[in-house]
Structure 1
Amino acid sequence: MTKCATSRVVARMLGGVAFTAMALSGGAAFAQTAQGEQVQDAIVVIGVTKQATLLQETPIAITALSGDQLETQGVRQVGEIANFTPGFNIRGAGNNPTAIILAMRGQVQGDNIASLEPSVGTYIDDVYVARSYGLNVDMLDISDVQVLKGPQGTLFGRNTSAGALVIRTNDPVFDEISGSVKATYGRFNEWNTTGIINLGLSDTVAIRGAVSYGERDSFATDIITGRKYQGTETLNARVKLAWKPSDTLTVTLSGEWYDGKVEGPPRQGLALFLNPFLFGPSPEAQAQVAALQGIADAQLAAFAGNPDLLSISQPAAHPGAPEKGLFNDTTTQTYIARAELETDFGQLKWITGYRRVKSDNIIDLDGFVLPIHMTAGTQDLKQFSTELQLTGAAMDDRLSYAAGVTYLTESGTDQSRTNILSNPVWSRFLGEIDNDSIGAYVQASYNITEALRVTGGVRYSIDDKGITVYNGNVMGYDGPLVSCSPASVSVANDCARSRKDSWNNLSYTIGLDYKITDDVMVYAKQSRGFRAGAQQLRSLTLEDSAPAEPEIVNEQEIGLKTSTWDNRVQFNIAGFHNTVADAQRSVILAVGGVSQTVLENADMENWGVEADVNIRVAPGLNLFASGSLVDSKHTKYDGFSVLNGVLVPEDKTDARIGAIAEKQFLVGMNYEGNVGFGTLKANVTYSWQSDINQDGNTIERYTRPLTEAGGLGFTQAQAETLLDVTTTKAHGIANARLGLAFGPEENYEIAIWGRNVFNVRRPNYTLFLNGLNYVGTSWNDPATYGVTISARF
Structure 2
Amino acid sequence: MNSRLLAKASVCALAASLAAPQALAQGAVEAFRDEILVTGTKKAEAENVQDVPLAVTAYGAEQLDALKVRELQTLSYAVPNVQLEDIGTTRGVANFSIRGLATNSSIPSIDPAVGTFVDGVYLGQNGGVVFDIFDLESIEVLRGPQGILFGRNVTGGAVLLNSKRPNLQEFEASFKAAVESGLRGTGLNYYAMGAVSGPIVQDTLGFRLTAYYNDDNGWHKRYLGGPNLPAVISAAGGTLAALQGLGFPIAAVQPDAFEDHGKAETWSVRPQLLWQPTDSVSINIKYERFESEGDGPSSQNHPGFIQPPFDPVSGTTPAPVPSVNFLFSAPKDSFTFSIDQPGNYDVEADSVTVQLDIDVPFGDGRITNIFGWRDSLGTSEGDIDATPFWLFHSFASNEHEQISNEFRYAGRFFDRMDFTAGFYYYTADHVYQENRFILGGFRNLFGGGIQDSRNYGVFGQIDFDLTDDFTLIGGVRYTNEKKSVELANITLNMAPCSIAAGTCTIHFTDEETWKNVTPKVGFRWEPRDDLQVYAHWTEGIRSGGYNFRNTSVVFPIEGFDEEEVDSYEIGFKAQPADGKATINAAFFVNDISDMQREINLSDPIAGVVQIIRNTADATIFGFELESRIFVTDNLIFTGNLGHLDGEYDSVLFDLNSDGVVNDTDLTLEIPRLAPWTYGAGFIHTLDLGATGSLSTRFNWSHRDDNAYTDNNLGILQGADMIDASIALTTFDNRATISIYGQNLLNEVTHGGETQLPLTLGGGSFAPLNKGRIAGVEVQVAF
TM range (shorter): 0.7 to 0.9
- TM-score computed with the length of structure 2 as normaliser: 0.84
Query: Who is 1:763 aligned against?
Result: 750
Match of 1:558 among 570, 577, 580: 570
The corresponding residue for 1:192 is 191
1:332 alignment counterpart:
349
- Aligned pairs for 1:569-648 (under 5 A) are 569-589=581-601, 593-594=605-606, 595-601=608-614, 602-640=616-654
Equivalences for 1:17-28 in 2 at 5 Å? none
| Alpha-carbon distance in structure 1 between the residues aligned to 2:418 and 2:463 | 5
Take 1:673 and 1:461, find their aligned partners in 2: how far apart are those partners?
53
Match of 1:750 among 720, 726, 737: 737
Residues 1:499 and 2:500 are matched in the alignment: no
Kept in 1: contact 2:339–2:387 (CA 8 A): yes
Between the aligned partners of 2:36 and 2:418, the Cα distance in structure 1 is 20
Quick one: percent identity of the two aligned structures?
24
Deviation per CA, 1:461-493, whole angstroms, max 9, x where unpaired?
Answer: 0110111112345888x8359xx9xxxxxx987
Structure 1 residues 542, 394: closer, same or farther in 2, change over 3 A?
A: farther
Q: 8 Å contact 2:600–2:709 — kept in the other structure?
A: no
Distance 2:725 2:699 in 1: 9
Comparing 257-266 with 145-154, which one deviates more in the overlay?
Answer: 257-266
Q: CA deviation at 1:93?
A: 1.8
SS of corresponding position for 2:561: coil
Could you tell me how far apart the structure 2 residues matched to 1:151 and 1:125 are?
19
| 1:353 aligned partner, one-letter code | G
What amino acid is the match of 1:189? L
Specify the alignment match of 1:313 in structure 2: 340
SS of 2:70's equivalent in the other structure is: coil
1:684 corresponds, among 698, 704, 719, to: 698
1:146 and 2:140 aligned: yes
Cα gap change, 1:338/1:151 in structure 2, threshold over 3 Å: closer, same or farther? same
Q: Does 1:731 align with 2:719?
A: yes
C-alpha separation in 2, matches of 1:777 and 1:77:
21
Distance 1:472 1:495, change over 3 A: farther
1:353 aligns with 2:372: yes
- Alignment of 1:390 with 2:419, yes or no, is no
Instruction: Indicate whether 1:515 and 2:526 are aligned.
Output: yes
Rate the CA distance shift 1:513–1:299 in 2: closer, same or farther, 3 A: same
Do the aligned partners of 1:551 and 1:583 also contact (CA within 8 Å) in 2?
yes
Deviations 1:310-354 (A, max 9, x none): 22134xxxxxxxxxx511111121110111111112211111001
CA distance in 2, matches of 1:179, 1:393: 37
Q: Say if 2:384 and 2:394, in contact at 8 Å, map to a contact too.
A: yes
- SS of aligned partner of 1:544: coil
One-letter amino acid of the counterpart of residue 373, structure 1: F
AA paired with 2:682? M
* Structure-2 change in CA distance of 1:220 and 1:591 (3 Å): closer
Match of 2:673 in 1: 660
Report the counterpart of residue 488 of structure 1 in structure 2: none
For the 8 Å contact 1:608–1:628, the answer to whether it is kept is yes
Partner amino acid, structure 1, of 2:345: N
Offset at residue 150 of structure 1 (A): 1.1
Taking structure 1 as reference, are residues 629 and 407 closer, same or farther at Cα in structure 2, changes over 3 Å only? Answer: same
My pick for the range that moved more, 98-107 or 533-542, is 533-542
| Contact 1:133 1:330 (8 Å CA) reproduced | no
Q: Secondary structure at the match of 1:310?
A: coil
Normalized per residue, the structure richer in strand is 1
The alpha-carbon distance between structure 1 residues 310 and 537, as it changes in their structure 2 partners (threshold 3 A), is same
1:113 aligns with 2:107: yes
Shift of 1:66: 0.6
Using the alignment, how far apart are the partners of 1:39 and 1:517 within structure 2?
Answer: 23
SS at match of 2:190: strand
Decide whether the 8 Å contact of 1:544 with 1:598 is kept in 2. no
5 Å-filtered alignment, 1:104-253, equals: 104-187=98-181, 188-201=187-200, 202-218=202-218, 219-224=220-225, 225=250, 226-253=258-285
SS of residue matched to 1:564: coil
AA aligned opposite 1:564:
P
Please state how far the C-alpha of 1:541 moved relative to its aligned partner: 5.2
1:344–1:675 Cα change, 3 Å: same
Give the structure 1 partner of residue 294 of structure 2: 262
* Matching residue's letter, 2:546: Q
- The answer to whether the 8 A contact 1:470-1:497 is kept is yes
Whether contact under 8 Å (2:655, 2:710) holds in the other structure is: no
Q: Structure 1 counterpart of 2:357, which letter?
A: E
1:97 aligned to which of 91, 95, 119: 91
SS of 1:154 mapped into structure 2: helix
User: Runs of at least 4 residues of structure 1 off by over 4 A?
Assistant: 35-40, 272-279, 303-306, 472-476, 540-543, 640-644, 647-651
How far does residue 260 in structure 1 lie from its aligned partner after superposition? 1.2
Aligned residue pairs total: 694
Residue 69, structure 1, aligned to residue 68, structure 2: no
By how many angstroms is 1:643 displaced?
8.0
Structure 1 CA distance, aligned partners of 2:476 and 2:176? 45
Work out whether 1:417 is the aligned partner of 2:417.
Answer: no
The one of 434, 441, 447 aligned to 2:465: 447
**Closer/same/farther in 2, CA of residues 391 and 48 from structure 1, 3 Å limit:** same
| 1:376 aligns with one of 395, 406, 413 | 395
In 2, are the aligned partners of 1:94 and 1:111 still within 8 Å (CA)? no
Report if the CA contact (8 A) 2:429-2:453 is conserved.
Answer: yes
One-letter code of the match for 2:210? Answer: A
The AA in structure 1 aligned to 2:399 is: D
Q: Secondary structure at the match of 2:131?
A: coil
1:174 corresponds to which letter in structure 2? L
Whole-angstrom CA distance in 2 between matches of 1:730 and 1:47: 31
Q: Which residue of the other structure, out of 750, 763, 768, is the alignment partner of 1:779?
A: 768
Letter in 2 for 1:777: A
- Please name the residue that 2:327 is paired with: 298
**Deviation at residue 76 of structure 1 after TM alignment:** 2.3
Q: Is the 8 A contact 2:380 2:396 kept in 1?
A: yes
Does the CA contact (< 8 Å) of 2:520 and 2:538 recur in 1?
yes
1:39–1:622 Cα change, 3 Å: closer
Instruction: Name the stretch that deviates more: 239-248 or 93-102.
Output: 93-102
Separation in structure 2 between the aligned mates of residue 331 and residue 360 of structure 1, nearest angstrom? 9
Q: CA deviation at 1:97?
A: 1.9
Q: Matches of 1:762 and 1:592 in 2, distance apart?
A: 28
Task: Work out whether residues 414 and 431 of structure 1, in 8 Å CA contact, stay in contact via their aligned partners in 2.
Answer: yes
Counterpart of 1:546 (choices 535, 543, 558) is 558
Counterpart code for 1:779: L
Find the aligned partners of 1:779 and 1:212 in 2 and give their Cα distance: 25
| Deviation sequence 1:208-267 (CA, Å, 0-9, x none) | 011111112223122325343111211122111101122221111001122112222221
Q: Distance in 2 between matches of 1:737 and 1:275?
A: 44
TM superposition shift of 1:358: 0.8
Change in 2 beyond 3 A, CA 1:427/1:73: same
Alpha-carbon offset, residue 175 of structure 1: 2.1
CA offset at residue 142 of structure 1? 0.5
Residue 780 of structure 2: aligned partner: 791
Q: 2:575 is paired with a residue of what secondary structure?
A: strand
Q: 1:272 to 1:305 in 2, by over 3 A?
A: closer
Please state whether the residue corresponding to 1:253 is helix, strand or coil: strand
Structure 1 residues 542, 344: CA separation in 2 closer, same or farther (over 3 Å shift)? farther
Listed as ranges, the gaps of 5+ residues in structure 1 are 1-34, 280-292, 315-324, 485-490, 699-722
Q: Please give the secondary structure, in 1, of the residue aligned with 2:327.
A: helix
Deviation at 1:655, TM superposition (A): 2.9
